[in-house]
Chain A
């Protein structure tokens, strides 16, 4: 019943890939069973996150219950007091947004050069960028930590623990990612477009700003979302490179565990609060993300 109903909708929107009546029973049943199992697997932790964030502390500390005995919004009030969540939130926002913005701006120029010009060293550059992306973060963490400490000692600048230093370390992963994705996206835009601008008397930068960048808006959105998401979830650098004042959410959330007790309802409430903005942004913009990712991957 449901299949025939959607078949009409689908044929209205776009040509159906296969005639829906041709879907064999075995396929339809496999689909129902497998997708149900996958949905349960995916949704269970999400349900636990939401339901536990509405439970009083006694309930989350005892045996697990699927249906909350009592609903309360207290955890959502308390999360801001137990730890300075607002400050962590702000730190995460500043660091992630700055790292993303810097990376995307720098990457636009680099991707333009790589995708539109043939020059000596181009191959070396792209290979370097690509390979640094695959290196483990731990590889850069140790030296960057020591370099920041040493340069700080030598110059008196408080580099280690500062937001600026953290932004720089976040760029170790946001920058190659942005260059790689944008270069792929630019390559998927027909050259005729910006070459026509050159013929019409635009300089190379004019062609970039007036033609290529507007044409690449979906790709730029994708890169921005993706970089921001990655930075927002970063744990490794934050665990070493931050101090009390600059701590980000990834480490700050551990503050809900005291020596004697873990405030699980608050942990879940806080997790939800820090997740909602990125998840919403991701789901809204995911079609762009897919376009950007595949352009980068297929290239």
Chain B
């Protein structure tokens, strides 16, 4: 499947760039045309190749100019309804003193100016301190979870590149955690992590004798480990899935040629497989980062509405400040701060990777 789409992908991309200049050339030529009439006859030619349908060119142009917008109309309307209006509302809410009393009419809430933000970033006060701690926990959690998931994914993808008996079955097994509905998977983990009747304590204490007693995994400092374990279990199959697909596109010729040159398996992995995965890795890491950083499902199902301090991820933290403490103003301010942070990181990352890609091409 992917083997087919791979060689195709560059074709339309090349078409795009070929098309872009053609079009701008066609659009620009009429402008200097009054001065130099000789340029005018050249103008219709490119536009003619662009849209070879019959009919009057003017009507054609109007139709093709309006058509994309018509096609986009439903998507635009929905985007407005579900993303842009709520986002604008959320930003306005962040500047209001929006407590429980105003739930039935949020616009009536008094303006708070920058108070919500001031409270959110004041690290000496309880709210700001808790947010900062939650932010730090989330950063550490994200780095570890993304790193481990990527590592497991890339290892499994490389090891399973060649056919061997049972590969298909193993592949299905590896993908199952990703396909499971998140709550079903996490509930199962919370059973494994139970203090008295869980598997983990049974193995660690009863069977291996590694721990003195039976530790609590879902309260206290251990919950960070528990959260990480569950998150990696759920996330690494996605890395595996994408990287496996990417490996199918690596040309077999490269391996054959390098084998003829005497390169061993390990060297092939280092010098052919890993470099070939780079573009997919860049997208993958960004996607994993965003998902993990924003993750709400895993901590919510594992811990409920309020997580232990050591595993208090930002999403759950905002949820708690909003729907448990009922302070929507503070919750919105935190959301806006989170959004700014994500935008900054993503922009920085994209800039960095595109620069790296550019220099690699040169």
- Complex CA gap A267/B40 in Å reads 75
* A146, B170: Cβ atoms closer than 8 Å: no
B103 interfacial contact with A, CB 8 Å? yes
- With A39-B170, A138-B318, A146-B103 already in contact, the answer to whether A3 and B164 are too (CB < 8 A) is yes
B95 interfacial contact with A, CB 8 Å? no
For A22, the closest partner residue in chain B by CB is: B259
* B179, A143: Cβ atoms closer than 8 Å: no
- Which has the most chain B C-beta neighbours within 10 Å: A7, A107, A297? A297
A49 partner residues in chain B, CB cutoff 8 A: 184, 188
Interface size class of B (residues with CB under 8 A): 35 or more
Against A, the Cβ 8 Å flags (1 = close, 0 = not) of B2-37 are 100110110111010001100100000000000000
B51 interfacial contact with A, CB 8 Å? yes
B189 interfacial contact with A, CB 8 Å? yes
* B161, A110: Cβ atoms closer than 8 Å: no
A15 partner residues in chain B, CB cutoff 8 A: 252
Question: Which one of B83, B189, B192, B206 lies within 8 Å of A128 (CB-CB)?
Answer: B83
* A20, B233: Cβ atoms closer than 8 Å: no
Nearest CB of chain A from residue B77's CB, rounded to whole Å: 9
- With A6-B163, A146-B93 already in contact, the answer to whether A19 and B259 are too (CB < 8 A) is yes
A275 interfacial contact with B, CB 8 Å? yes
Residues 205-260 of A at the B interface (beta carbon under 8 Å): 218, 229, 232-236, 239-240, 249-250, 253
A30 partner residues in chain B, CB cutoff 8 A: 159
B274 interfacial contact with A, CB 8 Å? no
- With A42-B176, A287-B1, A299-B9 already in contact, the answer to whether A275 and B181 are too (CB < 8 A) is yes
B339 partner residues in chain A, CB cutoff 8 A: 135-136, 139
| Stretch from B128-136, B240-248, B352-360 at the A interface | B240-248
Residues 103-151 of A at the B interface (beta carbon under 8 Å): 105-107, 109-110, 112-115, 117-119, 122, 125, 128-129, 131-132, 134-144, 146-147, 149-150
* A240, B323: Cβ atoms closer than 8 Å: yes
* A118, B199: Cβ atoms closer than 8 Å: no
- Complex CA gap A278/B164 in Å reads 27
* B255, A18: Cβ atoms closer than 8 Å: yes
* A17, B252: Cβ atoms closer than 8 Å: yes
* B342, A135: Cβ atoms closer than 8 Å: yes
B127 interfacial contact with A, CB 8 Å? no
Nearest CB of chain B from residue A33's CB, rounded to whole Å: 10
B309 interfacial contact with A, CB 8 Å? no
* B318, A175: Cβ atoms closer than 8 Å: no
- Complex CA gap A153/B183 in Å reads 32
- Which has the most chain B C-beta neighbours within 10 Å: A5, A142, A274, A282? A142
For B230, the closest partner residue in chain A by CB is: A45
Interface size class of A (residues with CB under 8 A): 35 or more
Nearest CB of chain A from residue B234's CB, rounded to whole Å: 10
Question: Which one of B83, B89, B176, B201 lies within 8 Å of A132 (CB-CB)?
Answer: B83
A86 interfacial contact with B, CB 8 Å? no
* B162, A18: Cβ atoms closer than 8 Å: yes
* B173, A43: Cβ atoms closer than 8 Å: yes
- With A27-B265, A31-B159, A233-B297 already in contact, the answer to whether A250 and B181 are too (CB < 8 A) is yes
* A298, B9: Cβ atoms closer than 8 Å: yes
* A140, B87: Cβ atoms closer than 8 Å: yes
| Stretch from B67-75, B116-124, B217-225 at the A interface | B67-75
Residues 260-284 of A at the B interface (beta carbon under 8 Å): 264, 267-268, 271-272, 274-275, 278-279, 282-283
- Complex CA gap A179/B78 in Å reads 12
B19 partner residues in chain A, CB cutoff 8 A: 118
Residues 1-31 of A at the B interface (beta carbon under 8 Å): 2-3, 5-7, 9-10, 13, 15-20, 22-24, 26-27, 30-31
Nearest CB of chain B from residue A122's CB, rounded to whole Å: 7
* B155, A34: Cβ atoms closer than 8 Å: yes
- With A283-B175, A299-B9 already in contact, the answer to whether A142 and B65 are too (CB < 8 A) is no
* A290, B2: Cβ atoms closer than 8 Å: yes
A94 interfacial contact with B, CB 8 Å? no
Against A, the Cβ 8 Å flags (1 = close, 0 = not) of B175-200 are 11111111111011101100011110
A48 interfacial contact with B, CB 8 Å? yes
* B197, A271: Cβ atoms closer than 8 Å: no
Residues 81-105 of A at the B interface (beta carbon under 8 Å): 105
B275 interfacial contact with A, CB 8 Å? no
A46 interfacial contact with B, CB 8 Å? yes
Nearest CB of chain B from residue A80's CB, rounded to whole Å: 16
* B191, A249: Cβ atoms closer than 8 Å: no
Question: Which one of A42, A114, A150 lies within 8 Å of B174 (CB-CB)?
Answer: A42
For A134, the closest partner residue in chain B by CB is: B290
* A297, B283: Cβ atoms closer than 8 Å: yes
- With A42-B233, A172-B82, A249-B181 already in contact, the answer to whether A188 and B255 are too (CB < 8 A) is no
- Complex CA gap A129/B184 in Å reads 29
25 A-B residue pairs with CB within 8 Å: A3-B164, A3-B165, A5-B165, A26-B266, A38-B152, A128-B79, A128-B84, A135-B342, A136-B296, A136-B314, A138-B322, A142-B322, A146-B103, A147-B85, A175-B82, A187-B9, A187-B13, A198-B52, A199-B52, A204-B64, A235-B183, A253-B184, A267-B187, A290-B242, A298-B279
Closest 5 CB pairs of A and B: A282-B179, A110-B75, A136-B294, A271-B184, A113-B71
Given contacts A64-B197, A235-B296, A286-B241, 11 further A-B contacts (CB under 8 A): A23-B162, A52-B191, A114-B72, A118-B19, A132-B79, A136-B342, A143-B87, A172-B86, A235-B183, A268-B188, A298-B280
